[in-house]
Amino acid sequence: MSKTYTRGEDADAIIARQVAKGNFPSAEAVVRAGVRMIEEYEADLVRLQAKIDTADAAYQRGECRQSSDAEAMKADIISRGEERSRRKT
């Protein structure tokens, strides 16, 4: 299915530069890569939103750690990381 799109001068310059540098064999390949990047970006956003929703639900259930200050939080994170490392070895 062949379609024609008007990209504009800025997009044309980017595409031409990518082809000239040898990163892509043609303008069409550059555009296809851009479309794939958009799809990957959208999938990343969906995964990120799911993680945010999971964390928000845990917070709403009271499943969170509280620290008195930044140094206490840092010490807690380091301690838990060290404990995980010991369990893996």
Per-residue pLDDT at 1: 62
At 88 the pLDDT is 81
CB 74 within 8 A of CB 68: no
- Inform me whether the pLDDT recorded for 5 exceeds 80: no
> And the tokens for 30?
């550059």
Confidence class for position 4, pLDDT limits 50, 70, 90 = confident
Q: Which helix (H) or strand (E) holds 44?
A: helix 27-60
Q: Is pTM beyond 0.85 here?
A: no
pLDDT at 89 over 80: no
* Other Cβ atoms closer than 10 A to 30: 20
Which of the 8 DSSP states describes residue 21? T
Residue with tokens 């296809």: 32
3-state secondary structure of 81: helix
For 40-68, the pLDDT digits (tens) are: 999 999 999 999 999 999 999 999 888 88
